[in-house]
Structure 1
Amino acid sequence: MIHEVDEALRRLVKEQALDDPDVEIAFEAPTKDWAARRNAPTVNLYLYDIREDLRRRQRGLINEYGSDGTVANRHMPPRHIKLSYLITAWTQRPEDEHRLLSKLLLHILAHEAVPTDLLSGSLAELGLPVPMTIALPPPEDRAFADVWTALGGELKPSLDVVVCAPVDAGRRFPAGKPATEGVRITLGDDVPLAHHVIPADEPGEQPRVSIRRVVEPRT
């Protein structure tokens, strides 16, 4: 999944936002050693944080229906993983770096999610939106200056892009055959009851029983 987000961002930056064949795209950590080896104008997309978006977590199971309309399987809802990228521009002149950052900012601001035509692999198969934000304030437990300190480099203008990618949890449970027939039982007062079995909602649970009195016309 991570490499699929990498490829989507590469295409978004290279083919749409900049459309400049002379600008290279890199995903390496922008350390001093890396910067010293750079020879061409470069936009660096450094993935510095991976964590689940707990606000999007869902409970329960999702039904999968067969061709006959009955429930064939149940699966866990997808989880959502936040991938945070530190985007920087590297050229010989600060003015050119600011120009590249400005193009990136304006283009990504126009999208609330990664364009669907850029999605591939599991992201495309799920068919769910992949939200994307840019330049939001960092969480309270993290500062961009701390990221640069960890990299051992000097503070540099950057854009923070966060992509929230849905991930298939991979857990599926086969559904039992639906109960389509009922039985009739009679208690001590000889009053017939209609008895129906209701399939369980969750794996491991016992089916429920629905019983109601049946009033038959007297003969």
Structure 2
Amino acid sequence: MSLVQQVDETLRAELMRGPLRGTNIQLSFDTPDADWAARRSGPCVNLFLYGVEEDTSRSQSGGVTVLDEQGTVIGNTGPPRYFRLTYLVSVWAQSAQDEHGVLGTLLEWCVCTEELVAHAPPGGNGGSRRLSLGLREAGDTPETTASRLWPTLGISARPALDLAVTVPVSRPTEESGPAPAKGMHLRARQVAGNGPAGDAGAATDVGVPLGEPGAGSPVRRRNVEEIA
């Protein structure tokens, strides 16, 4: 499931559990053009995704350390990037009164709901994401998003909400290097002619854990050569 589909399904689940609970209202993410309107049957709430853009106002710098469940550093990554998905939310019913009633309920829900949690499907990647919700403010001109979109879709002007959902997108993790060494292992042999007869060239393994007494301190050697 892609990121956009994850946001769609989260909105669907929360709306059906919230303002649309117990109703026979359908929920659609189709493009609400003239053909779709002609095929529609029954009351419907349409969420038309018309824009995806990066929210640069939330950009951050620096690095983030990634830890595993045991608290061990396993890599580093950059801060997440934030993207804004904008939906045109419209209501379709038999009468304007019915449409206004549902639209008012959706407006109250949007105002009261500032954050949703999107959970990845079982077996999916990405874990949970916190989605920020908000209604886009009108600009300095009286022209709204709906007034610009309806003519291009071949639909007569109708009221709609301009809903913005902001979602964080994590960056790939750069794995850290190998774990630091916990000790060192030396292999040495005695030089011929300096030890008991028959012991010339005998190899000896010496393990010195890091941090233990003697680690890093000078070792007195006599007629011993180290073998790499």
TM-score for both structures, normalised by structure 2: 0.68
% identity of equivalent residues:
30
Q: Given the alignment of the two structures, is residue 150 of structure 1 paired with residue 152 of structure 2, yes or no?
A: yes
Q: How does 1:71-150 map to 2 (within 5 A)?
A: 71-114=73-116, 116=117, 119-121=118-120, 125-134=126-135, 136-137=137-138, 143-150=145-152
Q: Is the 8 A contact 2:138 2:144 kept in 1?
A: no
SS of the equivalent of 1:130 reads strand
Q: Does 1 or 2 have the higher relative contact order (CA < 8 Å, sep 6+)? A: 1
Count the aligned residue pairs: 177
Deviation at 1:64, TM superposition (A): 1.2
Q: For each residue in 1:38-70, what CA deviation from the matched residue of structure 2 results, as whole angstroms up to 9, or x when unmatched?
A: 110000000000011111122222101346655
> Which one has a bigger Cα radius of gyration?
2
Q: Which contiguous aligned blocks of 4+ residues in structure 1 show a shift greater than 3 angstroms?
A: 66-70, 122-128, 138-143, 176-180
Q: Structure 1 residues 174 and 139, CA, compared in 2 at 3 Å: closer, same or farther?
A: farther
Q: Is the 8 A contact 2:119 2:127 kept in 1?
A: no
Aligned-pair Cα RMSD in Å: 2.8
Where do 5+ consecutive residues of structure 2 fail to align?
A: 182-228
Question: Amino acid of the residue matched to residue 137 of structure 2?
Answer: L
Q: Structure 1 residues 98 and 149, CA, compared in 2 at 3 Å: closer, same or farther?
A: same
The residue that corresponds to 2:176 in the other structure is 175
| Distance (Å, rounded) in 2 between the aligned partners of 1:67 and 1:39 | 51
Q: For each residue in 1:141-197, what CA deviation from the matched residue of structure 2 results, as whole angstroms up to 9, or x when unmatched?
A: 97332211221211110011100011122x2222236889xxxxxxxxxxxxxxxxx
TM-score for both structures, normalised by structure 1: 0.71
Q: Structure 1 residues 29 and 61, CA, compared in 2 at 3 Å: closer, same or farther?
A: same
Deviation at 1:124, TM superposition (A): 9.5
Deviation at 1:87, TM superposition (A): 0.4
